[in-house]
Amino acid sequence: MLNVSMIFPADLATVSVQAGYDVIGEPIRQVLADLGVETDFAAVPASFCDGRFNLSHRGRKLCGLSQWRSAGGPDRSAVVLAHAVIIVRDAPDAAGVLNAVQDIVGDPARFDPARWVSLADVAGELGAATIGEKLTAAFRAGDAW
């Protein structure tokens, strides 16, 4: 897994939830497209931490996105913390571990590993090995904001 987090100031009255996801999601989508991997924002039922802001490839989750928004700074400033987790390589025990946690917390939902895919599976090892540096370059370029 590759975790990407960013925090940025935002006027929460004008920066929509979608825009908050776009700031982190669009650069990731572009880097993935450059690696030959097309993605869409979509829910993927039975994938872990599902939501409509997953980046999916052919109906399978490749990247999960989340955000936290706060307007509680001492100077009433607002920030958005945006986070992505990219499945870089297959984790065969992930579903077992996640489902065991579900049992512990009493949640009957179950996760199906057939509902997600790794970057190595769709872009090969070169894509998996270079995604970090490509994302760093994309975010440093500042195209997201």
Residues recognised as catalytic? 49
Question: What distances in angstroms separate CA 67 from CA 51, 64, 79, 145, one per listed residue?
Answer: 12, 11, 10, 16
Q: Coil, strand, or helix at residue 123?
A: helix
Instruction: Give residue for tokens 């990219």.
Output: 86
99 burial class (0-12, 13-18, 19+ CB within 10 angstroms)?
A: middle
